Structure 1
Amino acid sequence: MVSQVSAQLVLAAKTGPELPSIDDFLPDPILFQGTPFAINRIILIRIVATIVLLLVMCITAKRAKLVPGRWQGLIETLLEFVRDNIVYQVMGEERGRRYVPMITTLFFTIFAFNLCGVIPGMNMAATATVTMPLVFALWTFVQYWIAACREKGFFKYLRGELMPPGVPLPIDIILGPINLLEVLIIRPFSLTVRLFANMIAGHLLVATCLAFTQFYLIESPNWGIKPVGALWLLGGFAFVCFEMFVAALQAYVFAILSTVYINQSYPEVE
């Protein structure tokens, strides 16, 4: 038995560490295979994260007191941060009141989904594929078009975007298609790619550090190289902490850009 384990370790040492790849983000279905309701690992993570987030918010709201405890105080601080430092700071209180629920939902959902990448047992951000970031970006896209049509009218808004006031006609001919491309494609595309690309990069960095840690610290029979595995472990821990920061940062960036795009649809913002 000992000889078999030793042989396996030597074989692993010869083949090298099992590094992460793009295939990690395209896992096979684990439930309801072969049906339109097939669920793979990432979808399951999204479901679990959504349920946990709803439970946390509902239980906190149900147990809310006039004098908040530490947990209630933390949640209220985060809610006030989104309201005051994102929505109201960009839109003002009167206009922003309409969008506080939307932007708060975006911020908390994206933050929770991003954090799944550093939670043991999940180890994969729920936003690490294009689907969820695209859904969030399309929500923003629909909202700023609704705001534009409601406040300016469709054709007036489109004319203002294609032909900005004070710009000479020859320049309008050049800028028009570019501006149209921006409001139709570039804004939702940039929101989508920025979010899921950062989550993919974070997963690959953390997984690579842990793969080298396992290879040098556990699988390699060469004791002289064990300290290298310890260094990779420290690097993995550092990247986990950094990934938690990025999870919050990307939620903030997505929320504030969504607020800015919606605010630009109002008449006085040209």
Structure 2
Amino acid sequence: MGTLVLAAEEFTPPGASLFEYPPIFGSVTKPMVLAVLSLVIIVAVFTLGTRKLSLVPSKGQFALESFYDIPRNTMARDQIGSQDFKRFIPLILGLFSFILVNNLFAIVPVIQFPTLSRIGFPLSLALFVYVFYHYAGFKKHGFAGYIKHAALPPGVPVFIAPLIIVIELLQKFVVQPLSLALRVFAAMFAGHLIIALTAVASAFLITAGGALVIAGPFAFVAGIAFTFLEALVQVIQAYVFALLAAVFIGAAISEDH
């Protein structure tokens, strides 16, 4: 028992400092470099994948078309509507691709860091989506028309209309962008922290000596399991972010609330 207590006192779990990176050069940090790298990867994949398009697609073209089908059909068309969705495809596709690649960086050897675990990145993306869908709504309905469209659902009884207006305006102009950013940030932050914890714990247990060595392999296996789980969460979070962006755009430009 004394050995276990002593080992627990010596073990230092990873914390928020795990996400702090000193500048590589000037004020440029690793997350900034990864954000740019993700853009290079996305542009390269779509450029190379669309160079030689054919009616009978190759395996690469088929894979790229299948990927493109997700934001085009299951997000943009289904949520925005068949009449207006095409002009929003680049935005939804770009969001989905950018977030997915940056999330998956967390499980890529050597890189091993999810860019969106730094709150500035998801906040910036959410702010961009926020401005975009409100602009689309103002353009479609006019200023007064859009405020009425966003604040007062049809069929609301007069006696509760003031309360509904306050709730809807808070939701549309405050809650939605914050929840959009915080959802992906929290998932990437927590997931990366858990994986780091299992890695540090397994290394500590294996080298601790005594009975603790037996627990080392279990922590290592848990780390592998959490890595696969985190990969699934990374894909889901990219999908949810882009899907909600399409939902907000669709709600902003719809004729009915």
So what's the TM-score if we normalise by structure 2?
0.91
In the alignment, structure 1 residue 143 sits paired with structure 2 residue 136: no
Name the structure 2 match of 1:3. none
1:199–1:14 CA distance, 2 compared to 1 (3 A)? closer
| Aligned counterparts of 1:160 and 1:176: Cα–Cα separation in 2 | 10
Counterpart contact for 2:150–2:252, Cα < 8 Å: no
How far is 1:264 from its partner?
Answer: 0.6
| Aligned counterparts of 2:8 and 2:159: Cα–Cα separation in 1 | 65
How far is 1:66 from its partner?
Answer: 4.0
Selected match of 1:235 from 207, 215, 222: 222
Name the structure 2 match of 1:83. 72
Counterpart contact for 1:27–1:40, Cα < 8 Å: yes
Name the structure 2 match of 1:185. 174
1:187–1:66 CA distance, 2 compared to 1 (3 A)? same
Aligned-pair identity in percent equals 28
Name the structure 2 match of 1:27. 21
1:213–1:172 CA distance, 2 compared to 1 (3 A)? same
Name the structure 2 match of 1:6. none
Selected match of 2:147 from 158, 166, 173: 158
Q: What is the DSSP-based 3-state SS (H/G/I as helix, E as strand, rest coil) of the residue aligned with 1:165? A: coil
Matched residue pairs, number? Answer: 252
User: What is the letter of the counterpart of residue 75 of structure 2?
Assistant: I
Name the structure 2 match of 1:41. 30
**Which one is further off, 14-23 or 192-201?**
14-23
How far is 1:41 from its partner?
Answer: 2.0
Selected match of 2:60 from 63, 71, 80: 71
How far is 1:14 from its partner?
Answer: 7.6
Name the structure 1 match of 2:208. 220
So what's the TM-score if we normalise by structure 1?
0.87
In the alignment, structure 1 residue 54 sits paired with structure 2 residue 48: no
Q: What is the DSSP-based 3-state SS (H/G/I as helix, E as strand, rest coil) of the residue aligned with 2:83? A: helix
**Which one is further off, 235-244 or 17-26?**
17-26
Name the structure 2 match of 1:265. 252
**Which one is further off, 187-196 or 131-140?**
131-140
Name the structure 2 match of 1:4. none
Selected match of 1:254 from 231, 241, 245: 241
Deviating beyond 6 angstroms after TM superposition, the runs of 4 or more aligned structure 1 residues are none
**Which one is further off, 201-210 or 79-88?**
79-88
CA RMSD, aligned part only?
1.9
| Aligned counterparts of 2:216 and 2:200: Cα–Cα separation in 1 | 10
How far is 1:47 from its partner?
Answer: 2.2
